Structure 1
Amino acid sequence: MTALLTMKNLRGGYGDSDILFDLSIEVAKGEIVAIVGPNGAGKSTAMKSIFGLLDIRAGSIAIGETDITGWAPNRIVKAGICYVPQVKNIFSEMTVHENFEMGAFLRKGDYSAALDRVYNLFPDLRTKQKATAGRLSGGQRQMVAMGRALMLDPQVLLLDEPTAGLSPKYMEQIFQISRDVRDSGVAILLVEQHAKQALAFADRGYVLAAGRNRHEGPASELLADRHIAEMFLGG
């Protein structure tokens, strides 16, 4: 497996406090990788570290052969990584279509093909192009957030708790769309509180606790391990 995104021996946090300790994660092209673990494990912090949103004191982050450690988020976007945070991830007062247009801010020239790809991935939104994004259901708002990020044709899509607060129907829909995104050639790294559901659809997984790697491997094997389930996945 050739890694597309590599986090190696990372240590960092906010201010003087470290939250991540010697953390290593890899994501290859064409796969979904899930980060799971108990509350306070450092899952979302790991995601933010990739996107340049916390202080890194040791270790490295790379996309392909390019070291992006310490880069500002705008440079990281240009390198091919897009991040969808858990909250405040859409322009609530804009329409669905305007959100997608905002997602194309770095593109030059015509982006109609990108728009068409996004609407094909999210067919529920094609009929809601003129709807105000903030008035949509939680699941549809999450689709808008993902679609806006995909307008830039990223190599890697970072999803922080994409199913938080969603009904089982929309949770499954977001997971299925994530598979479609992966199959279109975009690697996905996601943080999920619904650990068992995430590992059931991901290709590989990492179990974090107290900011450290505890277990890693094929998602199906992590899910089937009774010790891991009892210790880290809620039984």
Structure 2
Amino acid sequence: MHKQKAQILFKCHHQHDKPEYEDSTFTITKIIETNKSTPIFELILDNCKFIMDNNFCLQISQLTSLIYLGLNNCNIVQLQHIPKIESLKRLTLDYNFIQNSELIHLKFYQDKLLSLSIMSNRLNFSDQTLLQEFYLFHKLIQLSIAGNQKDITEHESVMMRDEIFKNMKNLVFLDTIARGEYLSTCIENQFNDQKQEQDYLSRLDVLDWKTEQEYKDADQ
């Protein structure tokens, strides 16, 4: 399995001028202490090796201003103790070992998330019920599921993409592919690769993301 290059282990953006705080050592205590002096809006724990148990998640859930949580390449198998944060809008779980049955533990976020990335895990799209799990995230504007569809043909992949767009009315971006050409005059509607899409999302203030209808109105 492809692994991302090692990145910073602790990164948080602060309100307004958003200075970056970065640290090569990761401790929950340091995160919580930082949050007491200035609210953390973005927390990236990519490549950190930890046990996502109840204690860990209860502590992370103290970050009540968090908008983006990145848990990529963290050896995550289970989501039973995923932190529950009301303010969260974007969640990335790429390059882990998550299977279909674990998605039920994301139920808390079905009416909250605007962006969800769960690439290169162990999701089995030959199970016809899997897409139904994603349809429950009715506010999603961006969804990344690439790297999981190893047992389906290209034709099946195209059909699945069309099915997802049909059933997720607010979805604009799916695995670097945008819905409809109407986006071309108001926003870049395609990306060359997943990194380019992720870089774009990192610049985007998710609180200002528009729904599909608003994009249509802007393009008319």
TM-score range, shorter chain: 0.3 to 0.5
Higher relative contact order (CA 8 A, sep 6+): 1
Structure with more of its chain in strand, by fraction: 1
Structure with more of its chain in helix, by fraction: 1
TM-score, scaled to structure 1: 0.32
